[in-house]
Structure 1
Amino acid sequence: MFLGRNLNKEEKKIIKLTTSSHALVHLYEGVIPPLIPLLMLEFSTDYFHLGVVVTALSYAFGFGSLPAGFVSDRLGPKKLITAYLFGTGLASLLILGSSSLLFYGILMALVGLFCSPYHPASNALISQAIKEKGRVFGIHGIAGSLGVALVPVVSAWIGTCLGWQGPHILYGIIGILLGFYSLSIPGQKAAKKSPGELEKDNEAEQSISVLNLVIFFISAMALGLTYKGIMTFLPAYMGESVNIGGMTVNRVTMGGTVTTLALLSGAGGQYLAGRLVDRFSAEKLYLGSIVIGTVFVFIMAATTNLILIAASVVYAFFYFSTQPIQNYLLSRYFPRHRLGMGFGIHFFVTFGIGSTAAAVSGYLADSFGLKSVFYFMGFCFLLSCAASWALLLRTGAKKTAPPTEEITVTVSNR
């Protein structure tokens, strides 16, 4: 079985919930870019203003992650996952009443706000309740990569056939159905700690290297900028730059389809990194993935047609391979009782601060063309390279050992 024999029944339930919810959160997050040509016509607007809408969604998505991480440590992560599913589902259905770009932007910001608890909550839940963290982070990451990869073609196809509101409505219905499914899964609540365990927690907090965390979060922030900038304009860039054999396919469908084919390789990167990170130095794997990703972003900026598609495939493989490695590093750098906070900060800098790239990239696209977006993203990758190299030097490039702490979780139906 794909989930493996070493996982118990409760762990498998958690994985099924988190993987399906992870794919969906990236359908919500990536629904706008494939629809940009349709939205420009619907609202008579330009790249910059639609970039602002993407930024509003992403700001809410990222900035909400910070308090969500703290709340997850107190209330339990499963409750936040349920709130995310129902909240995003209902907000998406309200798109039916959207008649202006302003109202649409407000609704998309609301969707982003309800999405914000997901990443810190799900990663904390996996870290707390799953023993084989690296492999499960890889499986969880694959689901997210599939969501990222499928959203361009699915949204473009539905938008072309049913109108720009169609993808929002479909994803909203899926969210509500998953919300009801989540109610059937018991919540996870940390067992009450003895004075001795509390003392160990305090010792663990004192052992945290603040400088290592700062360097790590700088690297994550730079990658967050590249993610939002590239994902926002990759479908439009593909539609503009790919012309294979004189195919007469409209720009929306072409951009969405080619982007999906390229991004599917990200699932392979997630899986391979999830397997390797349990065995080798996470810091070395992290730096290597970023360096290779940097090279291929610059190739994407300078090419068209088949070379552009091939470069995008390699970029996606190595970019998405960084995500399970990041999650694994955080599970080592933070004590167990502060994991929600750690993942909250991580997704705040990745999706919150990183979301500024959408509006900046929109300005660059309007002023200098879509190619300029990818050159700018390449320089953001270089910043992440420098930070990850510094992190490797700081940690001594030692082989990563999985945490040996025994995981004890009590099940609560509340």
Structure 2
Amino acid sequence: MSAATIPSLRRDAQVIGLVGVAHGVSHFFHLILAPLFPWLKEAFSLSYAELGLLMTVFFIVSGAGQALAGFVVDRVGARAVLFSGIALLGLSALLLSQAHSYAMLLAGSMLAGLGNSVFHPADFTLLNKRVPTQRLGHAFSVHGIAGNLGWAAAPVFLTTIAALSSWRTALAAAACIPFATLVVLFAYRDLLRTDEAKTAVAAPGRSAAGGHVLDFMRLPAVWMCFAFFFITAMALGGIQSFSSSGLRALYGMSLASATAGYTAYMLASAAGMVAGGFMASRTSRHERTIAMAFTGSGIVSLIVAAGLVPSFLAIALMGVIGFGAGIAGPSRDLLIRAAAPKNATGRVYGVVYSGLDIGLAGAPVLFGALMDANHPSWVFICIGLFQSLAIFTAVSVGVNTARTAEARAAA
């Protein structure tokens, strides 16, 4: 390793780490209210439907805002947008901690959704512009793992403080996390500089290259990427919302054992992202990695749905499903990067990742209806079906992108 390479590696690691921490905070705030539902239900005399609506409005605002945030990222720069989003998360937690009505809870949830909306277009623009191509697979791997850690940390952090003090104290303490993160990011702000803001937009509605800023929306690959995220989010939403309930109904296992199944999924997913980072760095046909990973996960989901294996094995199989989903993560993000037109990274990631929020908002409705109808096996059947459908969208994007690249090379 040359002397010039060491500073470069250190700088790349710092950028990846900073963006990863920000992404972890974003995922932490996905669950800023759900772990506190028992306390909020009692404090405000809320129904389960009213509690669920708090999560729904979060993801609706986040999904709509994410598509718009991509345009802002491409115009003013990813760093400023990222800083704004983190600040909004901190303000939302403060607002929620002072809520004295259901309307204030809704307002706080919407503000958190607005803050969350900036992360994917800002994060991926920063990584794509600041990290060399040969390290992007590992960068996206760390990015995904950090998000999983945020999901894992939120319930422990919030419920522990709420049990020791109150739900208001828990939310006030949670507000310190994004503000502390913002201080760290500001201290290292030079590492997060990008050049988009210096590329003036020639006229309203026109890109620097002379085309319309909405031209990228005419690309079929963009909408196939959107469909991919929507479909995979439906599978993820089913796992997050009702996999534990489904395991209990199918296998008669205890709540602790069923929760262990979900934990196995999350831990194995993180391990899969590490492996997926290495795999993504060794190929340019990322759709093949995705197809392999989701084929395995989909088959295992159907095995779990059959309810024929011992309960301890069902828990282990949940880990296998998670490992496959994790492997697909870095390749998924690189697939989108390859499909995105030059200088439209923020817009493309904003639009396609809005499918993730829409899927996460809609999944609880579908899977909740299946559980209400006493069809727990269909929870896992649908998870497997959604993962299988995702293969077709990924392959379509990969083949289309490869053909486009070949045509440009031949021109």
Query: For the superposition of Structure 1 and Structure 2, which TM-score range results when normalised by the shorter chain?
Result: 0.7 to 0.9
Q: Note the residue ranges of structure 1 that are not aligned, 5 or more in a row.
A: 401-414
- Offset at 1:33? 4.2
Is 1:148 the counterpart of 2:154 in the alignment? no
Distance between the aligned counterparts of 2:113 and 2:61, measured in 1?
5
**Greater per-residue helix proportion:** 2
The answer (yes or no) to whether the contact 2:129–2:194 under 8 Å persists in 1 is no
Higher RCO, 1 or 2 (CA under 8 Å, sep at least 6)? 1
The match for 1:260 among 263, 271, 290 is: 263
Cα displacement (A) at 1:173: 1.0
Q: 2:277 aligned with 1:287, yes or no?
A: no
CA drift of 1:31 comes to: 3.8
Unpaired runs of 5+ residues, structure 2, are 201-206, 407-411
Partner of 2:321: 315
- 2:338 pairs, out of 332, 342, 349, with 332
Distance in structure 1 (CA, Å) of the matches to 2:172 and 2:185: 20
Shift of 1:175: 0.8
Please give the residue correspondences for 1:13-412 in structure 2 after superposition, counting only pairs within 5 Å.
13-36=14-37, 39-131=40-132, 132-165=135-168, 167-184=170-187, 185-186=189-190, 187-190=192-195, 210-234=219-243, 259-280=262-283, 281-303=285-307, 305-368=311-374, 372-392=378-398, 394=400
Secondary structure of 1:98's counterpart equals coil
Moved more, 61-70 or 89-98: 89-98
Which deviates more, 257-266 or 60-69? 257-266
Query: 1:361 Cα deviation (Å)?
Result: 3.3
Q: 1 CA distance for matches of 2:326 and 2:40?
A: 28
Counterpart secondary structure, 1:148: helix
8 A Cα contact 1:274 1:325, kept in partner? yes
Per-residue deviation, 1:395: 5.5
What is the SS of the residue equivalent to 2:193? strand
Number of aligned residue pairs: 388
Instruction: Answer yes or no: is the 8 Å Cα contact 1:225–1:357 preserved in 2.
Output: yes
Q: Distance in 1 between matches of 2:166 and 2:249?
A: 21
Q: Any conservation in 1 of the 2:58–2:110 contact (CA below 8 Å)?
A: yes
Distance 1:68 1:361, change over 3 A: same
Alpha-carbon separation, structure 2, partners of 1:63 and 1:382: 26
CA distance in 2, matches of 1:330, 1:345: 11
RMSD: 3.7
Distance 1:21 1:207, change over 3 A: closer
Relative to 1, partners in 2 of residues 1:227 and 1:30: Cα closer, same or farther, differing over 3 Å?
farther
SS for the counterpart of 1:264 is helix
After TM superposition, the score normalised by the length of structure 2 is 0.80
Amino acid in the other structure paired with 2:278: R
- Matched residue SS, 2:194: strand
Could you list the per-position Cα deviations for residues 287-337 of structure 1 after superposition, in whole angstroms to 9, with x for gaps in the alignment?
A: 112222222333444548423321221222222332221211121111331
Q: How far is 1:209 from its partner? A: 8.7
TM-score, with structure 1 as normaliser: 0.80
Counterparts of 1:301 and 1:40, CA distance in 2? 32
Deviation at 1:158, TM superposition (A): 4.4
Residue identity over aligned pairs, in percent, reads 22
Q: Distance in 1 between matches of 2:43 and 2:302?
A: 33
1:333-385: CA deviation from partner (whole Å, max 9, x where unpaired): 11331101111012111113542223343444444466554443333323223
Paired with 1:263 and 1:395, the residues of 2 have a C-alpha distance of 31
Structure 1 residues 344 and 207: alpha-carbon distance in aligned structure 2, compared to 1, 3 A threshold: closer
Contact 1:48 1:359 in 2 (8 A): no
| 1:133–1:171 CA distance, 2 compared to 1 (3 A) | same
1:172 is displaced (CA, Å) by 1.7
